[in-house]
Amino acid sequence: METIQNRIKKFFSVGPKSTFLLVLLIIGCFTIIYNLRKEVTVIVDGKEQTIVTYSSSLRNSLERNGITVGPKDKIIPGLDSIVEDGDKVVITRAVNINVLVDGKTLQLKTAEKNIEEMLIAEGITVDESDKVNPPRTQDITKGMDVKITRVTAELVKESQNIEYSTEIRKDNNLASNVTKTIQEGQTGEREITTRVVYEDGKEVSREVVSNVVTKQPVKKVLLQGTLGILTFNRGGDQIAYEKVIRVKATAYCPCKSCTGKDTSSPGYNRTASGTQAKRNPNGYSTIAVDPRIIPLGTKVYVEGYGFAVAEDTGGAIKGNKIDCYFPTHSEALQWGVKYKNVYILK
């Protein structure tokens, strides 16, 4: 066997041409290796390091340098990118967070910058009306709790009755214990629209946004009598009166001492109204009055005397004074002088 020394001598004895080819091969190998070498800056959560790689694959380059990328980590550029010398790779590690939503607690890993981006990335739909705490613009931090409150609202419509009012009109032609309905009342209606707000299905507020009268109520109209009521016998018969006058009541008869006329005198037993003076316990008797207080022709009721008509006058009958007619002088004397209520009848 040829020794190694002899082989070397034999190789170099071939000549300058072989030597040149060998040198050229060595230089080519070094050139290829040099061109494959790349330095890449890798920034992980803000910390920078430089790695050397001979691979054109970013994924392989990171793995060969012991840098792992989790499924939720963010990497720029992507793992399938081609590596160039001088490239910069930024890796953001995903952190654990808790999201409380729809009655559940979701334990998630995320590398998103803020809550808004995290919700989008996780496919969690949040309406504008929903509440997010902390706010959507808040940066993500390790172990943070994010609470999403679902906010919904609905418009609730309801009908309500409007009670009618009652108008009472005074009627001077009716007794005070008489009430008449001249117009029946009718309830009205209103439609109330209320905005009800719920948070996670629980009512938190309600606000009336519309109150519309759909039917106007019709007021009830009553006539209420103003006349007094006089009960004048045991049977409970009643009669209406306009007012009561307190008077001094005397008595007279058709005799000359009372009227100044005897039976032969013209106008004997005639009243100032031209009627025949009378005493009718079951009907209307005659009384003399001051017409300024009780006009002639007025029907009255005199306590203790009965019903009467103001038909006569007298020189001594002035102001709140009346003279009750009796057919005999003895009856007139028996009456004497009394203070009575006179009811002016309607």
User: Which residue from 301, 293, 288, 300 is spatially nearest to 319, judged by alpha carbons?
Assistant: 293
Question: What pLDDT is recorded for position 1?
Answer: 47
Residue identified by tokens 């409970």 is 236
How confident is the model at residue 109, as a pLDDT? 96
pLDDT at 237: 77
- Cβ neighbours for 146, distance < 8 A, ≥ 6 positions apart: 97, 98, 99, 100, 115, 118, 132, 133, 134
Q: Are 243 and 317 in contact (CB under 8 A)?
A: no
Q: What are the residue ranges spanned by the domains of the chain?
A: 38-92, 95-149, 154-223, 232-345
Contact between 342 and 301 (Cβ < 8 Å): yes
Q: What is the CATH number of domain 38-92?
A: 3.10.20.90
Give dist(CA 275, CA 297) in Å, integer.
11
Instruction: Report which of 308, 302, 229 is spatially closest to residue 273, judged by C-alpha positions.
Output: 308
**DSSP assignment of 61-102:** HHHHTT----TT-EEES-TTSBP-TT-EEEEE--EEEEEEET
Fold of 95-149: Ubiquitin-like (UB roll) (3.10.20)
Fold (topology level) of 232-345: Barwin-like endoglucanases (2.40.40)
- Please state whether 132 falls in left (phi above 0), alpha (psi between -120 and 50) or beta: beta
Spatial contact of 190 and 159, defined as CB atoms under 8 Å apart:
yes
- Topology (CATH) of 154-223: Resuscitation-promoting factor rpfb fold (2.20.230)
pLDDT of residue 92: 93
What is residue 2's predicted lDDT score, i.e. its pLDDT?
52
Phi, psi of 56 (to 5 degrees): -90, -5
H helical segments located in 212-273 = 256-259
Rg of the chain in Å (alpha carbons): 61
What pLDDT score was predicted for residue 175?
84
Query: What averages of pLDDT result for each successive group of 10 residues across the chain (346 residues)?
Result: 56 55 56 69 91 91 91 91 91 95 95 95 95 96 96 96 95 87 96 97 96 96 88 73 94 92 88 95 95 96 95 94 96 96 92
| CB half-sphere exposure, 54, CA atoms < 13 A | 6
* pLDDT for the residue numbered 270: 93
Same fold for the pair 38-92 and 95-149: yes
Asked, as a colleague might, if the bond just before 134 is cis with ω within 30 of 0, I would say yes
